[in-house]
Amino acid sequence: MQAPPIFVFEEQQQHLLPSWVVTCFTINVIMGSGFLGVPNGFREAGLLLGPLVLLAVTLFQWTAACQLAQVISRANALLGAENAAATLTPTLAPLAKSEADSAAKLRPSPPSLNVPSHTSYEMLMLCRLHLGRWAERAVMISACLYMFGTLWSFVSVFASSMSATVPLPGLLGAAEQLKPCDIYKTDIYGGGCITLYYFWALAFALLMVALMGLDVREQAAFQCAMTALRALIIILMTGTLLLGERSDFGLADSEDGAPPPPPPPLVRWEGLPKMVPIGVFCQLFQIGVPSLLQPLQRKRAFPRIFGAALGATFSMYTMLGLSAAFVLGDDVDPSCNLNWAAYRRSPAVALAVALFPALDCLSVFPMNAIFLSNNVLATLFQRRWHAGAISRQTRYACRLACCVPPFACAFAFPSLSRALDFTGIVGIVLPFIITPLLHRASLRECRARWGRDRFDDFEADGDYAGRGWSPPGLVSAAGAAGALLLAYTVACGFS
């Protein structure tokens, strides 16, 4: 009797979702705290170079996501041919080899090219299958560093937003006890302002201690509502910038006797190393591609879904980034929502813009921390496992342990700019280096098993061949470009 499929990292099989819902999910996965740093990135790189860098990164991210979906379909074909699909789970466990490996087949059965719904082929499992144990460990380190940086940015956004918006009488000195403050407007984060930041960071840590004990249940209605709310906040921010003046944000302009500073130039090459990590981080969702594909009803719609989501985020980022960089200039904060803390025309708008990213972190942080701890547990146990097979106390302890490094970084380096620089550099590895390696290795294995022409025909007939984003030459060029980009950003960071 065939064993039933094992659902890893979830209690039960998810219901399949229509394309528009998965598009909302994808937008939510992409749009974390990264969009708050885009205006500062545009200011650093220039009003023309900044958007061009973001556009190039967006195209590369779409290509890499489509290539990873193609790798997943090939992995499903290979493992299905080995009769391992019934018990396969997306863990780091050694993949059992069936007798089909030793029994030479003159004409193997046609490949089952599909993205399954009963389980998700996580990136770490794909590395183990196609690249070996060394790649699995290297990608695990890279994924952990990326997730640490992501969680670090959430802590920084929450603490800095609350510090700039919510007063705490009695915490600071008598002269400042009623004044919220912007940590980016103080000398070396000095005085009582950094004390307020530390207080809110500690409060966020205590909230996470409570929330980490709960298992996340994704709800489509909530995700769609959050997508609409994110778009509304960005439209609100852009509208107040375009229809207002610098004085509305507490900045001097011509009415105060001083001419406003000129807008940033079109191109500022020295800001390129600053913009690249921000662009990579704010459009990166590679590690979530398998989970996004699993509940999708029409699997072959993934190029359109990923393209629509990335196009929507690029449009919102560019709209906000250009308007903020042009109007606020050098006064734009690394976390741009803080510029609305002093917004004079409407206290309600000021409060909504300043607090939304902080409140959003309360829902996003636990999901990312649980995802990270699940992968860490899979690495530690090195076997097939189901989330229910691990005790609740062990899962809770691992989640808390995974949160220690990002909180330590947020206390040591309170700047969102630092978090985005670090996470963006690490994030280059997954889509621009590891994915091309997986794509080439999976193609080589499938062609070896079914024959070059025969497999290429099956992939084309199944609409998984990839039109324009997966020729072997383009994949190799993307991998080489990714390696050069990583070397460039690391060298600029050290210099």
Domains and CATH numbers, the chain: 19-93+119-252+260-494 (1.20.1740.10)
Region 334-360 average pLDDT? 79
- Token output for 363: 């829902």
Angle at 286 between CA 281 and CA 290, to 5 degrees: 150
For residue 51, pLDDT beyond 90: yes
Q: Which structure tokens are listed for 458?
A: 């099956």
Query: Please, are residues 58 and 427 in contact by the beta-carbon 8 Å criterion?
Result: no
How close are the terminal C-alpha atoms of the chain, in Å? 62
Distance, C-alpha 495 to centroid of its chain: 26
DSSP 8-state class, residue 4: P
Is pLDDT larger for residue 2 or for residue 397?
397
User: What's the rounded Cα separation, in Å, for the pair 306 and 316?
Assistant: 15
- Cβ partners under 8 Å of residue 402, min gap 6: 147, 151, 369, 372, 373, 376
Whether the CA torsion 3, 9, 10, 11 is positive or negative: it is positive
Contact 211, 362 (CB under 8 A): yes
CA distance 148 to 428: 15
Confidence of residue 82 (pLDDT cuts 50, 70, 90): low
**The pLDDT value given to residue 3:** 39
In sequence order, the 6+-apart residues with CB closer than 8 A to the CB of 490 are 425
At 462 the pLDDT is 67
Residue 49: pLDDT band (50, 70, 90) is: very high
The highest-confidence range among 53-67, 173-187, 380-394, 475-489, by mean pLDDT, is 53-67
Contact 326, 263 (CB under 8 A): yes
Q: Is the pLDDT of residue 188 over 60?
A: no
Sign of CA dihedral 426, 427, 433, 434: positive
Question: Which are the contacts of 235, defined by CB distance < 8 A and separation ≥ 6?
Answer: none
Share of the chain above pLDDT 70, in %: 75
For residue 422, pLDDT beyond 70: yes
DSSP state of 335: S
Q: How confident is the model at residue 308 (pLDDT cuts 50, 70, 90)?
A: very high
Beta-ladder partners of 124: none
Average pLDDT, the chain: 76
Residue with more model confidence, 484 or 14: 484
Q: List the single range of 16-20, 191-195, 406-410 with lowest mean pLDDT.
A: 191-195
Q: Which residue has the tokens 């009797």?
A: 1
Q: Estimate to the nearest angstrom the gap between the alpha carbon of 355 and the chain centroid.
A: 21
Least confident of 58-67, 143-152, 220-229, 279-288: 220-229
**Which residues are CB-contacts of 342 (< 8 A; sequence separation ≥ 6)?**
249, 250, 350
Structure confidence at residue 116 as a pLDDT band (50, 70, 90): confident
Radius of gyration of the chain (CA): 24
Contact 276, 45 (CB under 8 A): no
Task: Give the start-end residues of each E strand in 273-344.
Answer: none
* Cβ neighbours of residue 322 closer than 8 Å, sequence gap 6 or more: 42, 47, 51
Q: What predicted TM-score, i.e. pTM, was given to this entire model?
A: 0.78
Please spell the DSSP secondary structure of 350-391, one letter per residue: HHHHHHHHHHHHHHHHHHHHHHHHHHHHHHHH-S---GGGS-
What pairs with residue 296 in β-bridges? 17
Using CA atoms of 98, 102, 103, 107 in order, give the dihedral in degrees to the nearest 10.
90
More confident residue, 158 or 371: 158
- pLDDT tier for residue 470 given thresholds of 50, 70 and 90: confident
Residue 186 — very low, low, confident or very high, per pLDDT cuts 50/70/90?
Answer: low
The pLDDT value given to residue 81: 61
Give Cα separations from 467 to 26, 233, 244, 380 (angstroms).
22, 36, 45, 39
Per residue, what are the HEC states of 446-458? HHHHHCHHHHHHH
**Coil, strand or helix: which one is 296?**
strand
pLDDT category at 174 given cuts 50, 70, 90 is very low
Instruction: Please tell me the predicted confidence (pLDDT) of residue 42.
Output: 92
> How many CA atoms, within 13 angstroms, populate the side-chain half-sphere of residue 12?
4
Q: Cα(166)–Cα(181) distance, rounded to whole angstroms? A: 9
Tens digits of residue pLDDT in 211-247: 777 654 445 566 677 777 878 888 888 888 888 778 7
Token pair belonging to 1: 């009797």
Confidence of residue 61 (pLDDT cuts 50, 70, 90): very high
Both tokens of 333, joined, read 């904060």
**29-46 pLDDT per residue, tens:** 788 767 888 898 899 999
Contacts (Cβ under 8 Å, ≥6 apart) of 256: 247
**In this structure, what are the phi and psi dihedrals at residue 17, rounded to the nearest 5 degrees?**
-115, 150
